[in-house]
Amino acid sequence: MSTDQRRAMIVAAALPLVAEHGAAVTTSQVARAAGIGEGTIFRVFTDKEELLDACTAEAMNPDHVLRELAAISLDEPLDDRLTQAAEALRAHLDRMGTVIGALHASGHRRERTSAARPQPGAREASMKATHEAVTELVEPDRAALRMEPEKIASVFLGMLFPRPASPDAQPSAEELVGILLHGTLATPGRTA
C-alpha cells in the first residue's frame, strides 16, 4: 500500500471518531478503527495535529458530493433528480459541520497549516463545479422550463445555502424542490 493510500485509509477510519470526539480522539482509537498499529499512523503523519488537519481537509473535500451528483440518473423525473441532489449536498454540509464543529467544541483552535488551508480559489472552484453539476441535472428539461438551467441551478443552490437558523424551519429536500418547481401556493395561481 502506498503512503497516499495508507494516509487515505487512516483518515477514513479517523473521520467518524473525529466527528464524535473532536480533538480528544486518540491515535490509539484511530489505530484500532483502522486495524493497524499506532506506530503506522506516525509513519505517514508527523503528529496528531497533521492527522486532524487531514481529516478537516477530507471533510471539506467536494469530490465526494460531486461524484454523487454525477451518479444521479438523468432519466429520472426532474423533481427526483433535484431531491437527490439536495440530499447529497445537505449530507456533505452536515459532514463538514460535524467534523469542524466537533474539533471546535473540543478546544481545537490550532492555526491551520498550509496543508489544511484551502488553496487560493479552491472554494470558488468547488462552488463552480457544484453549480455545473446541478445545471447538468436540470438541463434535460430545458424545453419545459421558464428559466435557463444555469439560473435554476443558482436558485436551487441559493435555497440550500445558507440554512435557516432553526432546524425546525428547514424544509425537507422534497419540500425545497417542490417550492422551486411549483411555488408555495397550495393551488397554483390562486391566493386567499
DSSP state of 166: S
CA distance 21 to 101: 10
Name which CATH class applies to 1-59.
Answer: mainly alpha
CB-CB neighbours of 45 under 10 Å: 21
CA distance 149 to 141: 8
* Whether the predicted pLDDT of 43 surpasses 90: yes
* In the chain, domain spans: 1-59, 61-187
99, 59 Cβ separation under 8 angstroms:
yes
Residue 84 vs residues 96, 167, 170, 183: alpha-carbon distances, Å: 19, 20, 16, 19
pLDDT tens digits, 85-125: 999 999 999 999 999 999 999 888 765 544 455 566 888 88
CA distance 40 to 161: 39
pLDDT tens digits, 166-187: 666 667 788 888 888 888 666 6
35: three-class secondary structure by DSSP: coil
Grid cell listed for 52: 486532524
192 or 183: which leads in pLDDT: 183
Fold (CATH) for 61-187:
Tetracycline Repressor; domain 2 (1.10.357)
Q: How confident is the model at residue 160 (pLDDT cuts 50, 70, 90)?
A: confident
